[in-house]
C-alpha cells in the first residue's frame, strides 16, 4: 500500500505513538530502519524512506535499529477488520489476513500453496496481493518475522543458539546463521554480546523465559485484568491481584503444555509475557494468540475518536482510554464459556466453568508444568474438544446445568473435534466472516444469537460484533429494548464491540 512520505515524516518528527507499527523508516545515511517512535535524532527528510512493513525495509537492505527494536512494534496492519467491508476492499483485507497468518508462523515448515488454499486463492494471487499491500513477498515476510523473533530472543534471553533458531521458526541452525549474517551483517553471537552490555537485568530461571510485546498506547491493563478475573475458567485461568495485577493461565498448544503469565511492562507501550520453557517449540503461534487475547493490535485513537461522538459513551471513553476487547487464547474454550453463560449470571457461569474443568479437563501432572511464579490455583490443563466430546451426558449435567445445555456442550465439542468449525480449533479455512460464522454457529442445537455474537466478538476478533440481546447492555444504554439497542448501535459501526465494552464498564 503506498505511503504518503510527507505525512509519515510529520509523524516521525512528532514521534507520534499512534503510528507505531503502521510504518517503518529507513535512513539511507546509516542503513538502519526504525519505528516512528525511535528516540534517536530525527534524520533529514531526504534521507528517509518509508515502508509498510519491516520486511519491506529489509528487502531494501536496511537493518533493524538496536535502539528502538522494530521487533517490539505493535502490529496494527494485522488487526481485525469489520465484516461489512466494501467489495473493493476485499483484496486489502485478504492481504492483511495473510500477513497476520504469516506473523503467527503459517509458513514455518509449510509451503505457500497450503496457506493460499486455506485462504481460497492461488499462490500466485496471494503473492501478488501481499506484495502490493505490505511491500514484500509472503516468503520475505516470513523470513523477517523469524529474524526479528530470533533477534528478540538473543537480546532478551540466554537461550542456546539452537533453541533460538528453532523457536523462531527456522528449520536449521545453519539456515538461521546464514540468513542472520546476510541480512543484518552481524553474527548472532555478536548481537547477544552487545545486548548483554546494554542490559544488566537478572536472567529468568531456566524453567521460563520473559519477553516483551509492543502495544499502541493508551492500554487499559487494569480493565482487562478485571474482565479476565470475573470471566475466568477456574483452574485454568487466574488473576493475581495487587498494584500491578498479573494474568496467568495453563496452555495446551499443538501437543505442548505449560503456563504463561502476563503483566504490564515498565513503559506504557509494552506488556511482559512470562512462559514455560516447554512452550518454546510453539513460541511464534503462542505469542500471536497472546496478541489476540489482549487485543494488542487495536488502534485506540481511531476507535475513541468515533465513539466519543456519542454522548452516552463519551464519559466512559474519557475515563477508560485504551479499553480493549478481551480476546481468547483458545477459541473452543471461549465458546464453552459462552454457552455456560446463557441465561445465567457471570458469577454463576464462572462457578459452572470451574466445576466443568474439575470433572472433564486433565489435571496438571505431579511433576509440574507450573513455574514457581504461577498462582497455585492453576490446577488443570485447558479443556479440549476431544475430552469433552468423550464425556457422558450425566457427568456434564452433574456440574449443575440442565441436561439440554449439557447436550449442547457435548455436541459442540464433537463437531469441533471433527473439524467442522476450524475457527474454533485454531485453524483457518478462508477469510473469517462474522456473518457466515454466526449463521453456521446458531444452526447448532442450543446455540443462541447472543452466544454466537459473543464468540464472534471475542474469538473471531470481529470489531463490529455486538451481542445486542445482552440485558446488561440494554440496561447500560438506558433501559432500552434489544430492538432499540440494535438501532442505537448503528452509529457505533464499525467499532460496536468496543462500544459494548464501554457500556459494560459503565455498569461497574
Highest mean pLDDT among 278-292, 371-385, 433-447: 278-292
Q: Place 17 in a pLDDT band, splitting at 50, 70 and 90.
A: confident
Say if residue 198's pLDDT is above 50: yes
Span 303-330, pLDDT tens digits: 999 999 999 999 999 999 999 999 999 9
Q: Does the pLDDT of residue 201 top 90, yes or no? A: no
**What domains are there in the chain, each with its CATH number?**
5-71 (3.40.10.10), 77-156+158-198 (1.10.10.60), 211-429 (3.30.310.20)
| Structural contact between residues 356 and 375, judged by C-beta atoms closer than 8 angstroms | no
- The burial of 262, by beta-carbon neighbours within 10 Å (0-12 exposed, 13-18 middle, 19 or more buried), is given as buried
Phi-psi region of 470 (alpha: psi -120 to 50; beta: other; left: phi over 0): beta
Residue 439, pLDDT above cutoff 90: no
Provide the mean pLDDT of the chain.
89
- Could you tell me which residue, 80 or 60, shows the higher pLDDT? 60
Q: Can 34 be counted among the known catalytic residues?
A: yes
pLDDT score, position 80: 52
Cβ atoms of residues 476 and 505 within 8 Å: no
User: Do the beta carbons of residue 307 and residue 499 sit within 8 Å?
Assistant: yes
Once rounded to an integer, what is the mean pLDDT over residues 55-82? Answer: 83
Residues sharing a CB contact under 8 Å with residue 387, sequence separation 6 or more, in sequence order: 360, 361, 362, 413
| DSSP three-state, residue 147 | helix
Provide the pLDDT for residue 200: 47
Q: Is 108 a catalytic residue?
A: no
What is the pLDDT at residue 430?
41
Task: Give the pLDDT mean for 209-220.
Answer: 92
The percent of residues in the chain predicted with pLDDT above 70, rounded, is 91
Quickly list DSSP for 472-491.
HHHHHTTS--HHHHHHHHGG
DSSP H or E stretch at residue 176: helix 173-184
Average pLDDT over residues 448-452: 93
Has residue 283 got a pLDDT over 60? Answer: yes
Provide mean pLDDT across the span 79-86: 49
Q: What is the pLDDT of residue 206?
A: 67
pLDDT band at 428, cuts 50/70/90? very low
The pLDDT assigned to 195 comes to: 67
Spot the catalytic one: 8, 34, 408, 474. 34
pLDDT at 53 over 70: yes
Q: How many CA atoms, within 13 angstroms, populate the side-chain half-sphere of residue 338?
A: 28
Total-model pTM: 0.91
| Rounded CA Rg of the chain | 23
Residue 41 pLDDT exceeds 60: yes
Burial class (CB in 10 A: 0-12, 13-18, 19+), 347: exposed
Residues 293-305, mean pLDDT to the nearest whole number:
92
pLDDT tens digit sequence for 226-254: 999 999 999 999 999 888 899 999 999 99
Quick one: pLDDT at residue 266?
78
Band of pLDDT at residue 43, cut at 50, 70 and 90: very high
pLDDT band at 87 (very low <50, low <70, confident <90, very high): very low
Residue located via cell numbers 528487502: 59
Start-to-end CA span in the chain (Å): 42
Give me the sheet containing 270-276, strands edge to edge.
208-214, 270-276, 256-264, 246-253, 237-240
- 115-167 pLDDT, tens digit per residue, is 998 888 899 999 999 999 889 999 999 999 999 999 999 999 999 999 999 99
Q: Check: CB of residue 205 under 8 Å from CB of residue 372.
A: yes
State the catalytic residue, choosing from 83, 330, 468, 470. 470
Torsion sign (Cα): 477, 480, 481, 483: negative
- Whether the per-residue pLDDT at 429 is higher than 50: the answer is no
| C-beta separation of 272 from 263 below 8 A | yes
Amino acid at each position: 500500500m503506498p505511503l504518503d512520505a510527507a505525512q509519515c515524516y510529520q509523524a516521525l518528527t512528532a514521534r507520534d505513538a499512534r503510528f507505531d507499527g503502521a510504518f517503518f523508516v529507513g535512513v539511507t545515511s546509516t542503513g538502519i530502519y526504525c519505528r516512528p517512535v525511535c528516540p534517536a535524532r530525527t534524520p533529514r527528510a531526504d534521507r528517509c524512506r518509508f515502508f509498510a512493513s519491516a520486511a519491506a525495509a529489509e528487502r531494501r537492505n536496511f537493518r533493524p535499529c538496536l535502539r528502538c527494536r522494530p521487533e517490539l512494534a505493535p502490529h496494527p496492519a494485522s488487526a481485525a477488520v469489520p465484516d461489512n467491508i466494501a467489495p473493493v476492499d476485499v483484496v486489502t483485507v485478504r492481504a492483511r489476513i495473510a500477513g497476520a497468518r504469516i506473523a503467527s508462523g503459517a509458513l514455518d515448515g509449510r509451503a505457500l500453496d497450503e496457506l493460499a488454499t486455506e485462504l481460497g486463492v492461488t499462490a500466485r494471487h496471494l503473492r501478488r496481493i501481499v506484495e502490493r499491500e505490505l511491500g514484500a513477498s509472503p516468503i520475505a515476510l516470513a523470513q523477517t518475522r523469524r529474524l526479528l523473533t530470533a533477534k528478540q530472543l538473543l537480546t532478551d534471553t540466554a537461550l542456546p543458539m539452537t533453541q533460538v533458531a528453532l523457536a523462531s521458526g527456522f528449520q536449521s541452525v545453519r539456515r538461521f546463521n546464514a540468513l542472520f549474517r546476510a541480512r543484518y551483517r552481524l553474527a548472532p553471537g555478536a548481537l547477544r554480546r552487545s545486548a548483554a552490555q546494554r542490559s544488566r537485568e537478572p536472567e529468568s530461571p531456566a524453567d521460563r523465559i520473559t519477553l516483551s510485546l509492543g502495544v499502541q498506547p493508551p492500554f487499559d491493563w487494569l480493565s482487562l485484568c478485571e474482565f479476565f478475573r470475573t470471566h475466568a475458567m477456574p483452574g485454568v485461568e487466574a488473576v493475581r491481584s495487587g498494584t500491578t495485577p498479573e494474568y496467568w493461565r495453563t496452555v495446551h498448544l499443538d501437543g505442548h503444555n505449560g503456563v504463561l503469565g502476563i503483566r504490564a511492562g515498565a513503559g506504557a507501550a509494552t506488556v511482559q509475557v512470562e512462559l514455560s520453557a516447554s512452550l518454546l517449540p510453539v513460541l511464534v503461534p503462542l505469542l500471536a494468540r497472546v496478541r489476540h487475547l489482549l487485543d494488542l493490535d487495536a488502534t485506540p485513537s481511531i476507535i475513541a475518536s468515533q465513539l466519543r461522538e456519542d454522548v452516552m459513551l463519551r464519559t466512559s471513553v474519557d475515563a477508560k482510554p485504551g479499553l480493549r476487547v478481551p480476546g481468547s487464547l483458545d477459541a473452543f474454550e471461549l465458546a464453552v464459556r459462552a454457552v455456560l453463560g446463557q441465561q445465567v449470571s457471570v458469577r454463576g457461569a464462572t462457578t459452572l466453568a470451574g466445576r466443568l474443568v474439575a470433572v472433564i479437563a486433565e489435571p496438571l501432572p505431579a511433576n509440574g508444568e507450573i513455574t514457581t511464579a504461577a498462582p497455585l490455583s492453576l490446577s488443570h490443563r485447558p479443556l479440549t474438544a476431544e475430552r469433552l466430546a468423550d464425556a457422558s451426558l450425566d457427568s456434564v449435567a452433574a456440574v449443575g446445568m440442565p441436561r439440554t445445555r449439557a447436550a449442547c456442550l457435548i455436541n459442540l465439542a464433537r463437531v469441533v473435534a471433527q473439524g467442522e468449525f476450524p475457527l474454533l480449533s485454531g485453524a483457518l479455512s478462508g477469510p473469517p466472516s462474522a456473518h457466515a460464522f454466526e449463521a453456521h454457529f446458531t444452526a447448532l442445537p442450543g446455540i443462541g444469537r447472543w452466544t454466537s455474537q459473543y464468540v464472534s466478538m471475542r474469538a473471531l476478533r470481529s470489531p463490529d460484533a455486538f451481542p445486542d440481546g445482552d440485558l446488561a447492555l440494554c440496561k447500560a444504554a438506558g433501559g432500552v429494548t434489544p430492538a432499540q439497542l440494535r438501532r442505537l448501535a448503528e452509529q457505533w459501526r464499525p467499532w460496536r464491540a468496543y462500544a459494548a465494552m464501554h457500556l459494560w464498564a459503565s455498569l461497574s
